[in-house]
Amino acid sequence: ATSGSRGRSQSITSITDVSIYQNKQRKSMLSSAATTLLKRTAAPSVLKRTAAPAVGAVRNLNLHEYQSARIMSEMGVNVPFGIPAHTVQQAVDAAEKIGDEDVVIKSQILAGGRGLGKFMDNDDGTPGLQGGVHVIQTSEVHDYASKMLGKTLVTKQSGPAGKPVNTILLAKKMSLAREFYFAIMMDRASGGPIIIACSEGGTSIEDLAEKYPEKIIKVPVDLSEGLTDAKAMQVVEGLTVSGDKDAAMQQIRNLYDLFVKRDCTMVEVNPLAEDTDGNLIAADAKIGFDDNAEFRQYDIFDQRDLSQEDPREVEAGKWDLNYIGLDGNIGCMVNGAGLAMSTMDIISLNGGKPANFLDVGGGATSEQVKAAFEIITSDPHVEAILVNIFGGIMKCDIIAQGIIEASKALDLKVPVVVRLEGTNVEIGKKMLEDSGLALITAEDLDDAAAKAVAAIQ
């Protein structure tokens, strides 16, 4: 394997088995019920053409429900009236402004399955609130908001650590007659957007897709043609809409326009509901936005909620490093996406488990290398670090200088295995030898992986 150039938003795949890296819920464009449906209902030929799962740099920004609803409303999509609240008093004021006897209170986290989630137990040991979404009386808002704000909600998609609830949404209770499922995402097989819809929706959409795949409709859209009337009607009929079909088609067009004009990687509405008058309403939505379009979607990217992200990944982004935390104990620092994936594979083949993916790229400075070490060692599970550098654009002596500075500044307590090859490799090795540091050198990648695994046994 060799290293290659990489951009901030590069998608990374491995030609070898990458299933070991799918042990942590990710915020990527393929971590949704929409993808579940696409995979479970795909024809065999489609599955064969699908590349390995992307586990590299995150390619999309996710927003909270209340933020997504605001953007959808601006695009002409029907959404329930709602008011976000960041404090208990704001929640009480919002409920009073809505003015109904009952109100919907919804925790805002960047993970699905909120309704069936559970808040972590309180500091005093009392059980946390069951469920992140409730229909309650307005008089109960103060009590529920107190039990939700500042707490951690754990769902099927959040991972065991859960996500902090810093915002709740107070929404008007709607009279919904039916619930559907609707999503738009990019499809590799068709080479463009694909609309996925189901005449039944709600929290059990994944189970429904597994049991009744025939109820799922998929409508690929040609980007050069856009969403034609015929395809919009195909979606409306697939949803079995009972109201005004022309109005329903317009809602489908508005959702598609949102996907295209706002540079979305995914628009998932679950449920897309029908009220008692037959109107379609996006009752809940999850939207992802392509990082590559940040330069023309500033208003959207300014809404990024860093509290919902791994702080190590946030810090890596500040240094233009690609980092993803995993659950192993051998930290990795590599240049180039392909080499990084190969390094992780060979660690696994030698009986170890990688603790992270970290690509320093082709033009890293010694300061970036030091920052990479700081990020890796911030993981308490890391027991050893493997540095694997193929010096092309990146010179081995720059990496060596960064390793030396990081080792001295951070007073590293874990063994560090270093394999250097390529431009200025002899200079780099000499610098490491003369540093007086207890570094473990390796001749090749397999030797490095074996030494890293042996160092923790």
Catalytic residues: 181, 268
- Cβ–Cβ < 8 Å for 115, 148: no
d(CA 31, CA 185): 12
Residues 6+ apart with CB under 8 A from 52: 13, 14, 15, 18
- List helix spans (H) across 193-244: 205-211, 229-239
- Do the beta carbons of residue 368 and residue 375 sit within 8 Å? no
Of 67, 453, 65, whose CA–CA distance to 286 is shortest?
65
> Sign of the C-alpha dihedral, residues 52, 57, 60, 63?
positive
Q: How far apart are CA 133 and CA 113, in angstroms?
A: 10
Handedness of CA 295, 13, 328, 321 (dihedral sign): negative
| Helix or strand (DSSP H, E) at 333 | strand 330-334
Take residue 292 and report the two structure tokens written for it. 């590559």
Nearest 5°: the CA angle 221, 226, 230 is: 70
DSSP 14: -
Strand ranges inside 213-257, DSSP E: 216-220
For residue 401, what is the enclosing H or E element? helix 396-410
Burial environment of residue 92 by CB neighbours within 10 A (0 to 12, 13 to 18, 19 or more):
middle
CA Rg, the chain, in Å?
Answer: 25
Helix, strand, coil content of the chain in percent (nearest 5): 40, 25, 40
Distant-in-sequence, close-in-space partners of 90: CB < 8 Å, separation ≥ 6: none
**Residues 415 and 446 sit within 8 Å (Cβ to Cβ):** no
List beta partners, residue 292. none
